[in-house]
Amino acid sequence: MSNNRMQALSLVAAVSSACGGSQVRLVSPDTTPGSRYTCQPGEGAVCQPATTDVPEDLDPSGTVFVILPRECKGKVHQIVVLDAGSSHPRVDATCAPQAEPVEGMTSSYPSAAPPATAPTSRAPTSRESE
List contacts with another protein (CB under 8 A). 2, 27-30, 32-35, 49-56, 58-59, 63, 65, 67, 70, 101, 125, 127, 130
Nearer to another protein, 69 or 84 (CB): 69
- Mode of pairing for the β-strands spanning 64-67 and 24-27: parallel
Nearer to another protein, 70 or 83 (CB): 70
Bridge-partner residues for 37, per DSSP? 49
Nearer to another protein, 13 or 66 (CB): 66
> How far apart, in whole angstroms, are the C-alpha atoms of residue 26 and residue 65?
6
Shortest CB 16 distance to another protein, Å: 17
Shortest CB 28 distance to another protein, Å: 8
The amino acid at residue 114 is: P
Q: Comparing C-alpha atoms, which of 47, 36, 8, 40 is closest to residue 24?
A: 8
Shortest CB 52 distance to another protein, Å: 4
Nearer to another protein, 43 or 54 (CB): 54
State the distance between the two ends of the chain, measured CA to CA, in whole angstroms.
Answer: 33
Shortest CB 33 distance to another protein, Å: 6
Q: Comparing C-alpha atoms, which of 121, 69, 123, 130 is closest to residue 98?
A: 69
> How far apart, in whole angstroms, are the C-alpha atoms of residue 124 and residue 119?
16
